[in-house]
Structure 1
Amino acid sequence: MPLLRFDLIEGRTDDEVSRLLDTVHRVVVEAFKVPERDRYQIVHQHKPAHFIVQDTGLGIERSDRLVVISITSRPREQEAKLTFYRRVTEDLEQFCGITPNDVMISITTNGDADWSFGNGRAQFISGDL
């Protein structure tokens, strides 16, 4: 936890996807102070015609390297989120060649009762976590 979903335009190699996921996970661990094995990532690849992400009038140019990261998480401090946004774009550019204009991030917050990691239990409430 958090749960990250990555939406990409199809055509990336397995190595590119692995590098993307590893890079973002390092930032999640650092910015959100989660354990190393707290890793939940799902990748969806889309045909170009099925993936439209504009810029809300901000003048941001997109390419076929666009990555949309949707995060579902327990509440996080604003400073941690701002650090996450900055570090993800820096690291994706450095390690994956994805420019900051091709990274869109959205965080949705939920609570302890909204998570079950398996076995029919709400581990944040039961005290397992």
Structure 2
Amino acid sequence: MPLVRISLMKNRPNGFGKKVGAIIYQAMVDTINVPVKDNFQIVTEHDSDTLIYDPTYLDIKRTDGIIIIQITLNEGRTTSLKKALFNTIADRLHRELGVRMEDVMINLVEVKKENWSFGNGIAQYA
């Protein structure tokens, strides 16, 4: 049920975005109980005209290594689960791909279950 949008700057090694997506998916499975095979992602690469960020908002020093992650998912998870997800994603991106934790921005968009159709024009969760 999650739909993950991953935005990052161009000029990354081939396959980098796919590796980021794999880390995010596994973190969701491990921390917020996303089902196996429930993996839908959109990865977009940008230049400085189409990925705009403040380099010091909230006194966090960001670089062009920034990765902005937006996850649309069913509502209802606890704040502690959300915090665990944020930390797990940032930590694994740092450990596995060398991404600075300061450069990982995550936004969750919670929706009701009836707002999904996975195909065939059917609201599978309604």
Output the CA distance in 2 between the equivalents of 1:92 and 1:116: 30
Per the normalisation by structure 2, the TM-score is: 0.92
Q: Percent identity?
A: 31
Name the counterpart of 2:80: 79
TM-aligned CA deviation for residue 15 of structure 1: 2.3
Counterparts of 1:57-72 in structure 2, within 5 Å, are 57-72=57-72
Alignment correspondent of 1:48: 48
Match of 1:99 in 2: 100
* Partner SS for 1:113: helix
- Please report how far the alpha carbon of residue 55 of structure 1 lies from its aligned counterpart in structure 2 after TM superposition: 5.6
User: CA offsets, 1:40-81, max 9 Å, x none?
Assistant: 111111112221111674111111211000111101221110
The 5 A counterparts of 1:100-115 are 100-115=101-116
Contact 1:69 1:105 in 2 (8 A): yes
2:2 aligned residue: 2
Which stretches in structure 1 are left out of the alignment for 5+ residues?
Answer: none
Matched pairs, number? 125
In 2, distance between residues paired with 1:50 and 1:87? 27
Match of 2:37 in 1: 37
* C-alpha distance in structure 2 between counterparts of 1:46 and 1:62, whole Å: 16
Match of residue 18 from structure 1: 18
Task: State the one-letter code of the partner of 1:44.
Answer: T
* Runs of 4 or more consecutive aligned structure 1 residues displaced over 4 Å after TM superposition: none
Unaligned runs of 5+ in 2: none
Equivalent residue letter for 2:121: G
Secondary structure of the 1:13 match is coil
Query: Match of 1:34, SS?
Result: coil
Offset at residue 17 of structure 1 (A): 1.6
- State the Cα deviation string for residues 13-62 of structure 1 (Å, max 9, x = none): 33212221111111010111011201011111111222111167411111
